[in-house]
Amino acid sequence: MLERCLTALEVTVLGLWAGAMAGFAFVFAPVAIRIVPRMDTFASLIAGVIRALGPFGIACGSIAIAAAALRATAASGRNLALARIALVAIGLAASAYETQAVIPRMEATAATIAGPIDSVAKSDPRRVAYDQEHTASTRVYGAAFLCVLGALGLAAFGRKRPEG
């Protein structure tokens, strides 16, 4: 019974975290780029949302790690639990790096672009810098997202049930 409750808890928090990340990446950000015309405003909006997702991810990740650690008390579930803990830890680290390093660089560059990003030539150093930062942001955020999805996929597996 405890195993089922821990599994339900772990799957729920990982699903919430993955869903929030997917909602941002696949719904909110693409809509915002079409609606918010000024690059500096768009960058501030995106940065604000990513920063707001940070504490949510920390809460969900911490609960998932605790649940996985409790599920790891039996030898039959230990390897999968440790894999999930590692994936969640990497996801948390990537999210922290995104918030603390990548986003501030993007905001600083975006602040130098008054209008839409398309108003700046692709060869302009500001545009080149922003595009490079955006690529880094996409990769880091994507890595965090894939780690959370991986942990979610593994969370459904638990201890082997005794036969009979």
- Tell me what pLDDT residue 159 has: 55
What is the torsional sign of CA 61, 67, 72, 77?
A: negative
Q: Using alpha carbons, select from 113, 107, 138 the residue that is nearest to residue 126.
A: 113
At 67, list the tokens.
């649940």
At 99, list the tokens.
């918030």
DSSP H helical segments within the chain, as ranges? 2-23, 29-35, 39-71, 75-97, 103-110, 125-155
pLDDT tens digits in sequence order for the chain, 164 residues long: 888 899 999 999 999 999 999 999 999 999 998 898 887 788 889 999 999 999 999 999 999 999 999 988 877 778 999 999 999 999 999 999 999 999 999 888 888 887 777 788 989 999 899 899 999 999 999 999 999 999 999 998 655 555 54
Residue type, 60: C
Decide if 116 contacts 37 (C-beta within 8 A).
yes
- Tell me what pLDDT residue 164 has: 46
Q: Using alpha carbons, select from 89, 72, 58, 66 the residue that is nearest to residue 151.
A: 89
Q: What is the pTM of this model?
A: 0.88
